[in-house]
Amino acid sequence: MKIILTTEVIDLKEYNFPIFEGTLKTLINPSKGVLNYAKKIKSSDGIIIVTPEYNGGYPASLKNAIDLLYDEWKHKPIGIATVSAGPFGGTQAMVALQFTLWKMKAWTIPAMFSVPTVDKAYDEKGNALDKSASDKLAAVFVKELLWCIEADKEPKH
């Protein structure tokens, strides 16, 4: 079976979200960017969040963007990819991010994509220095996300 995917990179920097004031439901006059972002999250079949780890956590800008929404995350299959300069590949940020998403009732997939010592794994343009190893890890990760997306589409009893 051939699967056709459509992807889009959502760069939070482009949205310039205000510091968290409340969820989308409680905002009196949400910006066009906030509404557009919410629509993209809600309409997606699945999401991959890619984040660096800083001091055991993920960036405040990502927390802000996640907290802005609630219903949009519910039961959404989400894969988490993390990178770090150290030897653990952002696993602490991954656990913290999983916990936050679970509170939003999102469905974080069990496969992980963590990259330790990112400066030794990818060049400055994002190209894998060991393409074969990176591709194998990515294949397992994406396969799991696709399985979860398909499972989420099955009729509920």
* pTM of the entire predicted model: 0.88
Sign of CA dihedral 148, 154, 155, 157: negative
- 5 burial class (0-12, 13-18, 19+ CB within 10 angstroms)? exposed
- CB–CB of 47/78 below 8 Å? yes
- Closest among 78, 86, 87 to 50, alpha carbons compared: 78
Q: Architecture of 12-153 per CATH? A: 3-Layer(aba) Sandwich (3.40)
Q: What integer pLDDT is reported at residue 2 of this predicted model?
A: 62
pLDDT tens, the chain, 157 aa long: 566 778 888 888 887 776 777 777 776 788 888 899 999 999 999 999 999 999 999 999 999 899 999 999 999 999 999 999 999 999 999 999 999 999 999 999 999 999 999 999 999 999 999 999 999 999 999 999 999 999 988 776 5
